[in-house]
Amino acid sequence: MTAGRGPRNASAAIRAIRDQAAPATLLACVQSVWAEVVGPAIAAEADPVSERDGVVTVACRTATWAQELDLMQDRILERLNASIGAIQPGSPAAIVRRLRPTADRSRFNA
């Protein structure tokens, strides 16, 4: 047995593997910080599902939630881009230009 080496924390090992396995895409970054940025209430009602040219499509449980996200878009974008910038500093590709909220109940469990 090597001196000074104890058992490793499993969550740290899993986190390291997850970070290596996660695709380095803007959508993956958005998905990783989404719940933290929007809070649990919105995260339960809306999920980022795709991205193209900096526009992130967010599937919402109802049309009302889609409209609410559209109205809150400026604040969400500011916080979202700040969080993504902390993950990928200086990366111009890591900028969310716009959210495209859509009502898509099929993505949510009954």
Instruction: Specify the pTM.
Output: 0.74
105: buried, middle or exposed (CB in 10 Å: 19+, 13-18, 0-12)?
A: exposed
- pLDDT for residue 92: 59
| Domain coordinates in residue numbering, the chain | 24-107
Helices 26-38 and 63-87 cross at an angle (nearest 10°) of 110
- pLDDT for residue 2: 56
pLDDT tens figures, 28-54? 999 999 999 999 999 999 999 999 999
Instruction: Report the helix count and the strand count for the chain, using DSSP H and E.
Output: 4, 3
